[in-house]
Amino acid sequence: MRKMKIQQKWMIAMVLVTFVGVGIFSFYIIKNLQGNARIVNYSGIVRGATQKLVKEEMYGKENDDLIERLDGILYDLQNGDGENQLEKMSDEQFSLLLEQVQRSWEELKKEILHVREGGGLESLFLQSEDYFNLADKLVSAAEIYSEKQARHARFWLMSLYFILIVLVAVTAIYGIRQKKMREELLQAEAASKEKGSFLARMSHEIRTPLNGIIGMTKIGIESLPDVEKSGQCLAKIDKASKFLLDLINDILDMSRIESGKTVLLNRTFHLSEMLDDLRELFADQAKEKQLDFLICQDNLDQGADLVMADELRTRQILINLLSNAMKFTPQKGKVRLDAESLNQGDGEPLIRFTVADTGIGMPEEFMSKMFEPFEQQNSSSLIYQGTGLGLAISFRLVELMEGTISVTSKINEGTVFTIDLPLKQAGEEDTKENSANVSNQAEMGLLKGAHILFAEDNELNAEIIEYLLQNAGVHTSHAWDGEQAAAMFLEQEPGNFDLILMDVQMPKMNGLEAAEKIRKSGHGNGAEIPIIALTANAFSEDAKEAMERGMNGYLAKPIDNQERYHALAAQIKKHDGK
């Protein structure tokens, strides 16, 4: 920045110096041209005055004053200065002619004296003709030199003015560019400061649950004899782990959204069931803060309940908004979510979700940038901690789903978010696919006795998966990589496995390659056996790739147990036709 300022000062100084130089040179040129013009003028005066003198002398009228004046003019033309304020012309041709004129003038004066003494006029006439010819040439030489000097002056003045204009233009462009660079630098510094603040918040947000997990783990180990105390520690570890997972998901989501790599994964789901899940999810938090929490779906058309859309993203938008409403609403306040059907006129349902609260509200200046990542309301940042990513993620997801989001808010009165999403109504085929879902009560029954092959290269993850599956009554076979998983499937009798749970990233052969090998093997039920991807790549485009490579489902680590059982049971039911 300092270097840029110094460069700009030097350029301005150059412009000023050039401007002063042009002014001084212009003054010199004008003065020189004026001097040349005076020489041309006085050269003509010499010619005319001499003609008058000769005429008067021929008529016997003596004019010594005119002779004296002509002597002075010719002297000044030859030597410069003098009472006539003439400068010596530095032209060789003019100087040579001027010497000839001077000699002819001396001869002419002699003839004038001769006439005054009674001599004849013929010699005076002949001498005057010679003098006038030389005087005409002198005037012509002065005019030619003066015009030549004027052309040179115009050229140099135009050149200097052009240089001055170029310098002014370059300085102006440089100044504009520097101003833009300064603005960009200030923006970059502001962004850097903003991200630095975000990283500081991230450090706090990540370290807080980590500290809780580490601390509660230590306390739990030391309190093993006390079953109740150990149970409390495990519950707190579970809560802190979920908070940490949500935080990491937010960061990854924002990164994926901003890079344009987020892909919607549409499937059928019931809006009413999703809203019931949200009611259950936030019930404890609302009870803890004594909030009047209500989710209303009375204005939701019955025909619009089953839709084909990205349930995960729809749920994520509403969870983010409800979480903020719960966080920023004081005790005994109100939080309400309304879902209603709107008529677009083109047959497709438009669902409007309205999240309203009686919280602290937001000022106008914050509302203008509230959907930018890492933004937080300063006045509340010391009271309510967070990443400032939730609203930015919601805004971009709504845009991705071709919907709209708007907000109204008043300080100390509350905030209302309105989200309009064009959710496609599910067709008959979509409804059939949705019917493959099973109730929670039937899930454990479907899993009990099933034989599942799972591939996992991480020892700790393998131990957890095996425990959870066996706890549900499942018979398990474990492979350490994709190559071993494919080999184990091909070695078993057809129909021995009911389902394959396949980690995606493994050594030797990854899960996608192993799934393709099983599908193309022609062995037993290899073409239709349910294969569910298991991976830490928690993005919808990864799920889409897994589906395209022959898998039936997708589970992202870390996996909720209920979600795991539900996905496995649904695939087994669909495959067996139960």
Our CA angle for 361, 250, 456, nearest 5°, is 155
Same domain, 390 and 497: no
Residue 72 domain flag:
yes
Q: Give a yes or no: residue 220 inside a domain.
A: yes
pLDDT of 427 reads 62
How many Å apart are CA 311 and CA 274, to the nearest integer?
Answer: 8
- Overall pTM > 0.85: no
Task: Identify each DSSP E strand in 162-313 by its residue range.
Answer: 267-270, 292-299, 306-309
Do 563 and 537 have their domain in common? Answer: yes
Closest CA to 380 of 419, 409, 344: 409
Structural domains counted in the chain = 4
For residue 202, tell me if it sits in a domain: no
State whether 320 and 455 are in the same domain.
Answer: no
3-state secondary structure of 71: helix
Note the Cα 286 to chain centre separation in Å.
39
Place of tokens 């309190």: 223
State what percent of residues in the chain have pLDDT above 90: 13
What's the CA gap between 556 and 386, in Å, rounded? Answer: 24
Q: Which amino acid belongs to residue 426?
A: A
CB 362 within 8 A of CB 377: yes
Same domain, 402 and 447: no
pLDDT recorded at residue 16: 75
CA angle 370, 247, 503 (to 5 degrees): 135
Beta strands at 267-270 and 306-309: parallel, antiparallel or unpaired: antiparallel
Of 254, 256, 251, 327, which Cα lies nearest the Cα of 288?
A: 327
pLDDT in tens, 522-539: 888 888 888 988 877 655
At residue 198 the predicted structure's pLDDT band, cuts being 50, 70 and 90, is low
Peptide bond into 507 cis (omega under 30): no
Domain-embedded: residue 201: no
Domain shared by 242 and 275, yes or no: no
Position 389 pLDDT exceeds 50: yes
- Cβ proximity of 75 and 28 under 8 Å: no
Amino acid present at 260: G
* Residue that has been written with the tokens 């708007």 in this structure: 406
* Co-location of 242 and 287 in the same domain: no
77 in any annotated domain? yes
Residues 327 and 445 in one domain: no
CB atoms within 10 A of CB 49: 18
**Are residue 348 and residue 457 in the same domain, yes or no?**
no
Question: Which element (helix H / strand E) includes 405?
Answer: strand 404-410
**303: CATH:** 3.30.565.10
Residue 574 — pLDDT band, cuts 50, 70, 90? low
CB-based contacts of 304, cutoff 8 Å, min separation 6? 271, 341, 349, 351, 423, 425
Domain boundary among 372, 402, 428: 428
Q: Which residue has the higher pLDDT, 434 or 372?
A: 372
* 503 DSSP β-pair partners: 534
> Residue 108: how many CA atoms within 13 Å on its side-chain side?
28
Per-residue pLDDT tens over the stretch 532-559? 888 776 555 666 777 777 888 877 777 6
Give the pLDDT score at 301.
80
The 10s digit of each residue's pLDDT in 301-360 is 877 788 888 888 899 899 989 988 998 899 999 999 999 988 766 656 789 999 999 998
State the Cα–Cα distance between residues 138 and 46, nearest whole angstrom: 10
- The last residue of one of the domains, among 377, 409, 428, is 428
Q: Report the SS3 class of residue 267.
A: strand
Distance of CA 277 to the CA centre of its chain: 38
Decide if 385 is inside a domain.
yes
Report the candidate in 284, 353, 267, 280 with the shortest Cα–Cα distance to residue 318: 353
Pair (71, 151) in one structural domain: yes
State how far the Cα of 304 lies from the Cα of 468, in Å rounded to an integer. 37
Cβ pair 550, 528 in contact under 8 A = no
Query: 475: domain CATH number?
Result: 3.40.50.2300
Residue after which a domain boundary falls, among 202, 233, 258 = 258
Tokens representing 20 are: 């002063």
Task: Measure the N-to-C terminal CA separation of the chain; round to a whole number of Å.
Answer: 72
Do residues 457 and 482 lie in contact, with contact meaning Cβ atoms separated by under 8 Å?
no
Q: Are residues 168 and 235 in the same domain?
A: no
Q: Is pLDDT above 80 for 459? A: yes
Does residue 42 fall inside a structural domain? yes
Q: What is the DSSP string of 300-318?
A: S-GGGSEEEE-HHHHHHHH
Residue 188 lies in a domain: no
Residues 11 and 53 in one domain: yes
Q: What is the 3-state secondary structure (H, E, C) of 366-400?
A: HHCCCCCCCCCCHHHCCCCCCCCCHHHHHHHHHHH
In which domain, by residue range, is 287 found? 267-428
Strand partners, 285: none
pLDDT tens for 396-420 read 899 989 899 999 999 888 999 999 9
Q: What are phi and psi of 326, to 5 degrees?
A: -65, -40
Q: 332 and 249, same structural domain? A: no
